[in-house]
Amino acid sequence: MNTLLENPGAKAVVTPKRKPANPSQRILVVDDDVAMRLFNTHVLVRSGYQVDAAEDGAAGWEALHANTYDLLITDNNMPKISGVELVKKLRSARMALPVILASGEVPAEDLNRIPWLQPAKTLLKPYTDAELLGTVREFLRATDSAGDQIAPRLTWQNQPSPDGFWK
């Protein structure tokens, strides 16, 4: 089911998909800028992706707990929870969801200081629909060909210790 915010005050409106890119690929778009949120959502829905949209990091965090996604596209500078804070929460909860940080400024200092925060890709605003789709398609194609390699695999290095804690 695709949700598209058509009214800034509305939560979500269901819109039909046109042509499926891959019906199993579901994307969450998080951006406090109504125009960017609508642009991203419209471009992705028109290309056949299942898309949910959230108006800020807090609403995005709720959506991440309510649904399963293949990709998160998030702005950084947002009220309540920033994009970097959202990624921190995501990683702290051990969610292996890949992230595209689409923002006017890439917070390089924060990302370099905490290497595990690195998004899979970054898109610097403003970007075109072709740049957005190219980045999403390239990324989802790579994850499709990698299969389940995005999820952490159990190896001798990340097995639980006898006391039940992960190393």
Low-confidence ranges of the chain (pLDDT < 50): 1-20, 148-167
The percent of residues in the chain predicted with pLDDT above 70, rounded, is 63
The single-letter code of the amino acid at 8 is: P
Whole-number Å distance between alpha carbons of 149 and 91 = 16
CA 111 to chain CA centroid, nearest Å: 16
DSSP state string for 79-101: SSS-HHHHHHHHHHTT----EEE
Model confidence pTM above 0.75: no
pLDDT on residue 163: 44
Buried b (16+ CB within 10 A) or exposed e, 134-165: ebbeebbeebeeeeeeeeeeeeeeeeeeeeee
CA distances from 123 to 55, 93, 147, 161 (A): 18, 24, 24, 39
The single-letter code of the amino acid at 159 is: Q
pLDDT on residue 160: 43
Whole-number Å distance between alpha carbons of 151 and 166 = 16
Whole-number Å distance between alpha carbons of 20 and 47 = 7
pLDDT on residue 6: 39
CATH topology of domain 2-158: Rossmann fold (3.40.50)
Q: Domain boundaries in the chain? A: 2-158
